[in-house]
Amino acid sequence: MMKANDAGVVREEIGRYLIEASAWRPSEKDKWRARLTITRKGEGLGTPLSQTFRDISAVFEDAGDACRCAYERGKKLINEGPPNLKI
């Protein structure tokens, strides 16, 4: 169940990667913040690896804008690869 201070999660697979972008706010008075997790699917029976990005410093009035920011950052990280994407 989604918490009152959370927005929905946007998920998209790009190649071997899964982007999970969402928005949250610490309290009803605060602005929305972007949250991003990228998971690389394991090879064969290998274990998937995930990396969470908590350094998205921008804040937003709207949860949708925060989700879009996280999603766009995820796509960019996958396309650029290392050094920021370590999985």
Does residue 34 belong to any structural domain of this protein?
yes
Does residue 1 belong to any structural domain of this protein?
no
The reported pLDDT for the residue numbered 45 is: 75
Q: Tell me: the pLDDT tens digits for 37-66?
A: 999 998 877 899 999 997 788 889 999 999
Q: How many domains does the chain divide into?
A: 1
Q: Which residue has the tokens 């995930």?
A: 50
**How many helices and strands (H and E) does the chain possess?**
1, 5
What's the CATH code of the domain at 60? 3.30.160
Interatomic CA distance for residues 45 and 71, integer angstroms: 27
Q: Angle CA(27)–CA(58)–CA(36) in degrees, nearest 5?
A: 80
Prior bond of 26 cis (ω within 30°):
no
Among 61, 29, 1, which residue's Cα sits nearest to residue 69? 61
pLDDT, averaged across the chain: 87
Range of the domain at 30: 10-79
Where does the pLDDT of residue 26 fall: very low under 50, low under 70, confident under 90, or very high at 90 and above? Answer: confident
Does residue 18 belong to any structural domain of this protein?
yes
